[in-house]
Structure 1
Amino acid sequence: MAANVGSMFQYWKRFDLRRLQKELNSVASELSARQEESEHSHKHLIELRREFKKNVPEEIREMVAPVLKSFQAEVVALSKRSQEAEAAFLSVYKQLIEAPDPVPVFEAARSLDDRLQPPSFDPSGQPRRDLHTSWKRNPELLSPKEQREGTSPAGPTLTEGSRLPGIPGKALLTETLLQRNEAEKQKGLQE
């Protein structure tokens, strides 16, 4: 599941829905302005055609009629195609403009998934230094018994006598003391 949440988080982060919504707003504004311009232009063409019929002799109009009809048919077809494309855009626009950005949810899910992962070990065989840190940072994940005893699901905390190869004794002692202090704070808060 971690790979799925992580990959979805990365995808939506790159997708940048907020940026896309701003771009769509800009395009929608431009489309609205162009629709008004198109209506004015269409009305102007109708008036020019009327003037042409009034001012041009009949025989010239008959010669030009097939060409004018072809242009008129093409203008109508382009207008229809434009309206259909605008309607499709507006349909998608209405859905995307109201969509919440999923990045924060995926980020929280990924963070939670990371915290719930079992502790991992280095390939060298040494335990990770932050073996207990996720449990220290999130004591609500520990059972009451684990909180009282200062242990985590990964095992008991290290004592002064415990030693792991490759990790200095002072570092272990410091870590142990920090864990004890944290456990005592938790115990005091519960009482």
Structure 2
Amino acid sequence: MNKKIIFLVLLLNIFLLTSCSPGGSRTGMLNKESDDKKADARLEQVIVAIQNQDKNALTAMFSKQALAEAKDFDGSMNYLFELFQGKVQSKKNDGLIVDESDNYGHSKKEVKSFYIVETDKQKYLFFLLEYTTNTDQSDNVGLYSLRVIKAEDENTQYSSWQKMKIAGIYKPKQE
């Protein structure tokens, strides 16, 4: 019995020491509820800006870095305003990936969120990539990528987040 208690205490100490180290990277469930709420709030802001066709509000959500790297941001925003039609009937969180690192005061947090949004006219898939913290590059804090597509185009316009990590607002290439 005594050996089991010692073993559990040692195991607990190892877990605490490795999960709370001052340097390193964390991915996963830490602050999941808070991250979910923040991602949901950002989605709501994006939808309101799209429905109101509010270019200033939507642009203000993006980081300076994303705006600098984006190609034809205004044209992509106009495309998005035309694409998204109808009144929102439902929103479903379809996944959240949080990558967080804190290396001796150098913090960075990247949130990737996926949603299914249905309107009275169409079903859409949303992908948002946002840097919520970046102590080394404050110009990178904010929305970096936004992809909104019709659900029916999932096979041709939606893929892994790594491939969708493109600065600005997604607009398919014209052929």
- Indicate the TM-score class for this superposition, using the shorter chain for normalisation: under 0.3
Higher normalized strand content (fraction of residues): 2
Q: Rg bigger for which structure? A: 1
Give the structure-1-normalised TM-score: 0.24
Give the structure-2-normalised TM-score: 0.25
Higher normalized helix content (fraction of residues): 1
